[in-house]
Amino acid sequence: MAQLLNSLHGPLFLNNPSSRDSPSNALTSLQHHLFISRGNYAEFQKCRGVQSSSQGNWEVLDHVEKCPLQCEANVGKGGELEVLPHIQTLRKYPKEDLSGKVVLVRFDSTILLREQLDAKARSVSNALFTITYLYEAGAKVILVSDWSSKIDSKLLAADFVSDFLSSVLKLKVVPARCISVYVLSKMDEFKKADILLLENLSEFKEELANCSKFAEKLSSGVDIFVNESFSQSHKVLASTVGIARFCYASVAGFHFEEGLYQLNKAAKTSGLPYVAIVGGGNLYEKAAALQFLTSRCNGLVFVGMMAFQIMHALGLPVPLNLVEHGALKEALNLIQLARYKKIPLLYPKDFWCMNISLRKQLQIFPAHGILDGWVPVDLGPNSLDEISSLLTKCKKIIWIGPMKFRWSSKDTNGASKLMLMLDKLGQSNCDITVVGTMACKAVMKESSSVSVYNMVENATVVWEFLKGRKLPGLMALDRVRSL
């Protein structure tokens, strides 16, 4: 993958090897590059001054200014994130205090309302255990969540959802025709069911607005609030944030607690070498998180659309339609931080490409030589070999984001080969965390050793955490003193 290093701590290869003092000095050496449009390709060349062309194909990039990296001050500290707060969890909450209490569980519909529910999956088993644990402790359990046809086209009405949950939990779940627990208690609805299900939150605009009156109505009659919607913890919702103000206790369920554990693991460098496999796109929005990973990891491997932004910033020709507008400065900053930390940023050396006119026609092209009329659909064999060479040295890996490009082909199997690499490493006690729905699905589909993986399905929450941002759903929960 483009000048792979001989060791994990070797320098990043750039066009100007003389700039070694600091990230900001190194960035200066890549200033005043000229963007050149040649047909459907984009590349950079160093220039001393502003040039122009009567053909109108030249554009000077003045926005790459001489400035220190935002993360330079934190380089020596390893890019520390703000420590996650010590919150109250259901695991540590006195079980005897649950008996007779009205407990509202905000469950994650993306976990429990799947068409193909695997009860053995850790996320599913933890989410189910929270509900059964509360019921067996003698609590009056009420469930609430949001769901849509995107989860399952059949699960539009509360009747279908309650029947589905009843079959999974082996308990009688009955739909309520209101959103207020207080009203239900007056109607004595608890005698009709083991567990009650409130109306679909998707039908209430007050939910997204974090409406205080709606949150108060939702919490009326509730003693304890249990948040299990870890995938929504980066959002400010009435059912995850506003409600906590009105309940006697607000705690994290078993699934939510597991999500926090995985966040902490991703941030720690407990096993070295530690490498991040980065998929997906939108480098500009994820720049802060990528800088944190660069400061913590011993190498980053780009296997998605962001690879083209790294290639573009390094001066390699990249098809214009693959270049992310406005991401150049962030890519340059990332490259210079990696150089300063003396760690590799690996990008693909070759791709499987598909002919736009003849979709079944596939061919391998070098990364810098994709012909017009062809589009990348998967990593090429040389790229996968170089990934394998780097990963064999790892003791810890985080894979975040899909190994996917804008186009795909069923006739290539790059993800499968990556899974084989990770399976072997996992069986050799390498600590592997997989983040994102598509990456987790790849593990479930391709891996023969699913149990060796730590999986977090919602990538957005992890990206937000790695950016150093506070998670509102987490911050709303009760605190406990750390020992």
User: Which stretches does DSSP call E strand in 232-322?
Assistant: 249-252, 274-278, 299-302, 318-319
Per the CB < 8 A criterion, the answer to whether 238 and 214 are in contact is yes
Is there a single domain that holds both residue 146 and residue 195? yes
Ramachandran class of 210: left when φ > 0, alpha when ψ lies in -120 to 50, beta otherwise: left
| Domain presence at residue 15 | no
At position 425, the amino acid (one-letter code) is L
Note the pLDDT tens digit of each residue in 371-425: 989 999 999 999 999 999 999 989 999 999 888 887 777 767 788 888 889 988 9
| Domain presence at residue 202 | yes
Is there a single domain that holds both residue 277 and residue 376? yes
Is the model's pLDDT at 39 over the cut of 70?
no
Is the model's pLDDT at 50 over the cut of 80?
no
| Domain presence at residue 90 | no
N-to-C CA span, the chain:
46
Is there a single domain that holds both residue 124 and residue 205? yes
pLDDT of residue 292: 93
What is the signed CA dihedral for 76, 81, 82, 86, rounded to 10 degrees? -120
Give the distance, in angstroms, between the CA of residue 172 and the centroid of all CA atoms in the same chain.
Answer: 35
What 3 state SS string does 396-412 have?
EEEEECCCCCCCCCCCC
Task: Give me the domain span that covers residue 427.
Answer: 23-77+269-466
pLDDT of residue 302: 96
Q: Which of 74-88, 235-249, 319-333, 449-463 ranks highest by mean pLDDT?
A: 235-249
Is there a single domain that holds both residue 237 and residue 289? no
Is there a single domain that holds both residue 304 and residue 238? no
Is there a single domain that holds both residue 248 and residue 166? yes
Per the CB < 8 A criterion, the answer to whether 298 and 8 are in contact is yes
Helix, strand, coil abundance in the chain, percent, nearest 5: 40, 20, 45
| Domain presence at residue 133 | yes
Give the CATH number of the domain where residue 207 resides: 3.40.50.1260
Q: What is the mean pLDDT of residues 12-22?
A: 38
pLDDT of residue 211: 96
| Domain presence at residue 357 | yes
Number of domains in the chain: 2
Nearest alpha carbon to residue 352 among 398, 317, 315, 403: 403
Is there a single domain that holds both residue 306 and residue 438? yes
Is there a single domain that holds both residue 203 and residue 343? no
Is there a single domain that holds both residue 306 and residue 422? yes
When the pLDDT of each residue in the chain is averaged and rounded to a whole number, the result is 80
Q: What is the mean pLDDT of residues 293-298?
A: 92
Nearest alpha carbon to residue 444 among 116, 85, 70: 116
| pTM of the entire predicted model | 0.80
| Domain presence at residue 257 | no
CB count in 10 Å sphere of residue 181:
26
| Domain presence at residue 384 | yes
Is there a single domain that holds both residue 73 and residue 120? no
User: Which stretches does DSSP call E strand in 292-416?
Assistant: 299-302, 318-319, 345-346, 350-355, 362-366, 374-379, 396-400
| Domain presence at residue 86 | no
Is there a single domain that holds both residue 110 and residue 248? yes
